[in-house]
Chains A and B, each alone.
Chain A
């Protein structure tokens, strides 16, 4: 168990560029979550997958955002035509089990800066 891995740790991009982040969950965890955290705020839910199926998306996830989890393993989060307001820490979490037995494990995040 090496934990949830996120890459890159930091990303600096210019406004209007596309960026893609990757999350590798803990092996055999069937659920994967994406959150966004801005300075001085708590994490805000973006979307989650059960295996390869994207089961829920937040209203925060505009049309410029897309997430995939092919084959139910790693996941990618792409932001197209980035805006300065997209600057944030993007967190990934994975879990297994349900209800009382479910526990989320978070990665260290990808810090995005849009110039």
Chain B
């Protein structure tokens, strides 16, 4: 069965600073990989996904993530954080074949200081 580890429960950055959120997955083959964002009172919103091809994936809101098979990682990055990026970020993994039914990590809470 697949699983996801997000080692950082909280990350604090200053507005304008760069950001990297870590994600490691466990799956027997090449998985589908996702990053979602959840703001208070809002539903989960897909930021980006990796299915195949280019291992550097561009998403919405200026986010990108890089799939590294050798490290079983899919870290999320943003070069310059805005105060509105403060939210909960979830990495998810899905199995190939049929509906992929994402398995989520526990999430990383991003705090942005002015």
Contacts and interface: CB of A to CB of B under 8 A. Distances in A.
Interface in A71-99: 91, 93, 95, 98-99
A42 B105 contact: yes
B17 interface: no
Query: For A3, A48, A104, which residue has the most chain B Cβ atoms within 10 angstroms?
Result: A104
A98 B96 CA distance: 10
Contacts of B44: 43, 91, 93, 104, 106
Q: Determine the interface band of chain B, counting residues with CB < 8 A from chain A.
A: 20 to 34
A100 B52 contact: yes
Most buried by A among B6, B41, B44: B44
Contact of B106 (A3, A42, A107, A109): A42
Interface of B: 4, 6, 9, 36, 41-46, 49, 51-52, 90, 92, 96, 98-107
Interface of A: 3-4, 31, 33, 35, 40-45, 48, 50, 55-56, 91, 93, 95, 98-100, 102-109
